[in-house]
Every structure is written in C-alpha cells, then in structure tokens.
C-alpha cells in the first residue's frame, strides 16, 4: 500500500475538522441564547426553581438549569447526527436534524417537569427554545455558505472512485461535476475495459483499473468513497467483499441506483429478504395537498395585492406616461392540463412588438434556446420596461391570475402556445400542475438556462412538489430578483 501524503491525510480528515467547527459554533450559540433568555426573562440570575407538592423554592436556581440545558442541547445535537458529514452542506437534512433535536429536547424537559412536579418558568423556555433554534439554523446557514465556497475549489469533499459500466460512470461523473458544492470530487474510475493511464471520454478523470481491481485502485489513490454506478459488472459477492475491504469510519461505500431528478421524500429504502429495495413513490396532487397549495395561493396573492397596491399604481402611471399603449399586456399561455388562459403582465415593450418577432428571430444572438426566444438587448423593450424586467416587476399583475386560480405562486414556467407545439411528449408532464409566477427556473438562472435545463427543472418540480419546497423557492426568489441575473 502506498503511503498517504500529508495532503491526502488532511483531505481525508476534513469531516472531523468540520464537525469540530460546528461543535464549537453550536456551543457558543447555545450558551448565548440560553443565558440571554435567562437574563431577559428574570433580570435576577439567581431566580429559584420551585418543586414538590407545595412548590417550595429549593437551592436549585436558573444558573444550574441553564447549564444543564446548554450541555443537554449540545449533546442531543450530536446524538441526532446534525454534525455528521452525511447531512452537512446540502439538502434539508441538516436543518431538519437541528430542529428535531431541539424540539425533542424541550419535550423531554416538559415531561420531566410534569412528572417531577418542577415548576419551571414557561416564559424562560418559550424564549430560549425559538431563540436558540433560530440562532443555530442561522449559524449552520453561514457555515454552509463557507463550505460551498470551499467545495467549489475542491476542498472539504469526499474523494470519489466510480465503479461500473463506462456509460453509468460517465453519467454519474457529469452529474456530480455539475454540482461541486454537493461535496463529491471524482478522482478516478474503474470500468470494465480497465484502460489504466487513460481517461474517461471527454473528461480529465483517470481510469484507475478494471472493475475487478477496485480494492487495488483504492489503495493506490486518495479515494475515501467508492460509488458503484452499476452492478451488472459486480456480483453481490464482489460488492460484499468490496465493503469488507474498506476501512470503517474512513472509507465509504455508496450505491447509485439509476434514478435521477427524484426528490428525497419520494425515495424509501426497505430491506426485504436481505435485499435493500428502493421504493419510489409516484407523484400525486389529490386531496389535502391540492387544497394546501390553493390555500397558500389565495392567502399569499391576496395579501401581496393589498400590500403592493401603491407600487402597482405607481408602475401603472409610469408605463402610461413613458410610452404609448396600454398599461397591461395579455398573452395566451398554457396552464393546468393543457388549458389556455390569458396571463396578464405590465407592458414592457413598445406597441405591436409581436409583429417584429419574426424579423428578430433571424438576428444572431447568444441568449435563449431552440424553443424560447430571448434577446438581451431586445430593441422592442422600453426604457422603463428594461427596469421592470430586470427586477421582475412586470410580472406583479400575475398575482391576479393566481388569485382567480389560473396560476400558482410557485410552479412550472407558463409556456406560450407556440412553444408547446415544439414539445416532446414527456415535456407535457409539466401541465400536471398550474404554472407559477416563480419556480425552480426562476431561482436557477432564468433566461440564461438552456432548454434542456429549463425542462429538467420544471419536471423535477412537478414530480417532487412539496409545501416545504414551495416556501424554499419563494425565499430564494427574493434573492434571485434582487440579483437580476438572467432577466431580459
């Protein structure tokens, strides 16, 4: 076995270093939150806890309670794996673990207080719990941003050796390279041909050997994670032997099923007769889910229409004063189940702009794609219209479409009728849900996206929709709008 260099050892040890940093931050945050709650609520830090049948004060005071709460909170976060490398950095699992651990801890305190007849101050806990939990989530968010920046430069990542057929290895490698912040850096591949000293086609990923020499390839490389992308070339016995050859706690084995763009909540692993069967739930939008989303649309659009009424009036006056034509612009779009509707927007172009479209299509441009016409310096856009488009203010009237039920706050992009005629059959799945004012396409690049990426994001949303996902997209939309990239 080749000796690991100091750089290799440092790379492999990033998990413990990062976990220790989270531990230190969690400790500081919890101490500050708990003792802040104590001082704010009591003023006098020596306030005593009452206990027993007559609730007589005893020597135990809130200094002791706060210290116990701090220690317990730090330990519970560790027990629930909130600092594990399997959850940090990407997805909602890290945040969910923090919230779950915090809720359960305070539930235990409440049960203990009831059973032991300890009269804790409710206000103290009501203040400490949300203050500490929110502070923890904010701190984790900060660390996640730091980790993403490091991972974009190849640091703090699992060093991955891919094993499988050349086609499946290439597919997995490309998907991982699209998202470096996911924390997987591909350092080699084992494929059936085993062309040592060669590279995977179109990549800089070296071929480390054949699928029969995975163990030797691991020992010869800095890989700490093996991802099996297809199992046709490896028998169950070979995979079992491979798992035995890995060093526990330092090297990891991952099986990558041939599933892409499937959200976590739809995937359930169920061991049956020694087989780890992966169940994929089919998307459905019936029952309470549909009413949940509609309730959010009515409440959200109604509230925003009321709050933004002064802005709508000012923009309407501005459009009327700065250019000839109507204030609004109606355009036929395709919505739920392929039905058409009139989508309303603030007019951002000159009058009769659509009559100039055929001429502009022949103009050389880098923006847009084969289906969607986009032009960064479109001569039809007015001066005010350019400002409206940059910050998506031209789309505010679509709140009316949402309120009456033709659109949703979050959903697939509402396509033109002419675009739908160019769709492949599978793209029509996007009509299973109402189109949205915002969506994954809005927060992932907007007009800078290729047609394939636009379709992939819309279909991913449709097939993996959740209320939590809608709230996340709405939160991200504010940042995307202020940034203004991809809007023209």
Angle at CA of residue 175, ends 172 and 178, nearest 5°: 150
pLDDT tens digits, 320-350: 888 887 888 888 999 998 899 999 998 887 7
Q: Report the percent of the chain where pLDDT is more than 70.
A: 78
Judged on CB neighbours under 10 Å (0-12, 13-18, 19+), 376 is middle
Angle at CA of residue 419, ends 416 and 425, nearest 5°: 125
The whole-number pLDDT of residue 182 equals: 83
Separation of CA 160 from chain center: 22
The whole-number pLDDT of residue 44 equals: 57
The whole-number pLDDT of residue 60 equals: 54
Task: Give whichever of 253-262, 283-292, 400-409 has the largest mean pLDDT.
Answer: 400-409
Determine how β-strand 252-255 pairs with β-strand 225-228. parallel
The whole-number pLDDT of residue 372 equals: 58
The whole-number pLDDT of residue 357 equals: 61
What is the Cα–Cα distance from 230 to 257, expressed in whole angstroms?
A: 7
Q: Band of the pLDDT at 417, cuts 50, 70, 90?
A: confident
The whole-number pLDDT of residue 200 equals: 82
Q: Are 415 and 334 in contact (CB under 8 A)?
A: yes
Instruction: Locate 151 and state its tokens.
Output: 């991972």
Please determine, for residue 1, whether its predicted confidence score (pLDDT) is greater than 70.
no
The whole-number pLDDT of residue 57 equals: 46
pLDDT tens digits, 162-205: 988 888 888 888 888 888 888 888 888 888 877 766 888 888 88
Q: Report the percent of the chain where pLDDT is more than 90.
A: 20
Determine how β-strand 436-438 pairs with β-strand 408-410. parallel
The whole-number pLDDT of residue 128 equals: 86
Average pLDDT of the segment spanning 12-29: 88
The whole-number pLDDT of residue 12 equals: 53
Average pLDDT, the chain: 79
Strand partners, 228: 163, 255
Query: Which domains, ranges and CATH numbers included, belong to the chain?
Result: 6-152 (no CATH), 158-258 (3.40.50.720), 288-483 (no CATH)
């Amino acid at each position: 076995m080749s000796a690991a260099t100091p750089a290799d050892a440092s790379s492999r040890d990033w998990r413990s270093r990062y976990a220790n940093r989270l531990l230190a931050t969690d400790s500081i945050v919890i101490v500050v939150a708990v003792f802040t709650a104590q001082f704010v609520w009591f003023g006098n830090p020596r306030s005593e806890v009452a206990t027993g049948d007559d609730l007589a004060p005893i020597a135990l005071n809130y200094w002791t309670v706060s210290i116990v709460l701090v220690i317990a909170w730090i330990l519970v976060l560790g027990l629930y794996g909130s600092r594990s490398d399997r959850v940090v950095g990407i997805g909602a699992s890290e945040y969910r673990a923090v919230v779950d651990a915090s809720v359960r801890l305070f539930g235990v305190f409440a049960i203990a207080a009831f059973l032991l007849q300890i009269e804790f101050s409710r206000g103290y806990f009501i203040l400490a719990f949300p203050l500490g939990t929110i502070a923890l989530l904010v701190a984790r968010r900060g660390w996640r941003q730091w980790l993403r920046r490091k991972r974009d430069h190849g640091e703090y990542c699992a060093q991955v050796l891919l094993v499988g057929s050349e086609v499946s290895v290439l597919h997995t490698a490309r998907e991982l390279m699209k998202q470096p912040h996911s924390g997987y850096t591909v350092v080699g591949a084992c494929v059936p041909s085993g062309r040592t000293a060669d590279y995977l086609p179109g990549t800089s990923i070296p071929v480390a050997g054949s699928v029969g020499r995975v163990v030797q390839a691991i020992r010869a490389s800095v890989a700490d994670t093996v991802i099996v992308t297809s199992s046709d070339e490896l028998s169950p016995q070979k995979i079992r032997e491979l798992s035995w050859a890995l060093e526990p706690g330092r090297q990891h084995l991952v099986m990558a099923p041939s599933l892409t763009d499937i959200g976590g909540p739809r995937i359930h692993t169920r061991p049956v007769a020694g087989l780890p069967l992966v169940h994929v739930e089919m998307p459905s939008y019936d029952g309470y889910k549909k009413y949940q989303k509609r309730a959010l649309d009515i409440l959200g659009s109604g509230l925003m229409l009321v709050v933004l009424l002064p802005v709508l009036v000012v923009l309407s006056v501005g459009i009327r004063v700065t250019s000839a034509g109507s204030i609004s612009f109606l355009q036929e779009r395709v919505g739920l189940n392929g039905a058409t509707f009139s989508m309303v927007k603030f007019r951002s172009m000159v009058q009769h702009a659509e009559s100039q479209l055929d001429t502009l299509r022949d103009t050389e441009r880098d923006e847009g794609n084969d289906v969607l016409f986009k032009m960064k310096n479109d001569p039809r856009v007015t001066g005010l219209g350019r400002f409206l488009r940059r910050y998506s203010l031209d789309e505010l009237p679509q709140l009316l479409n949402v309120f009456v039920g033709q659109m949703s706050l979050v959903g697939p992009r509402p396509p033109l009728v002419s675009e739908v005629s160019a769709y492949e059959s599978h793209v029509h799945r996007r009509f299973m849900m109402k189109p949205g004012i915002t969506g994954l396409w809005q927060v992932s690049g907007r007009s800078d996206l290729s047609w394939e990426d636009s379709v992939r994001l819309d279909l991913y949303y449709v097939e993996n929709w959740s209320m939590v996902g809608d709230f996340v997209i709405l939160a991200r939309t504010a940042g995307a709008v202020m940034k203004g990239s991809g809007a023209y």
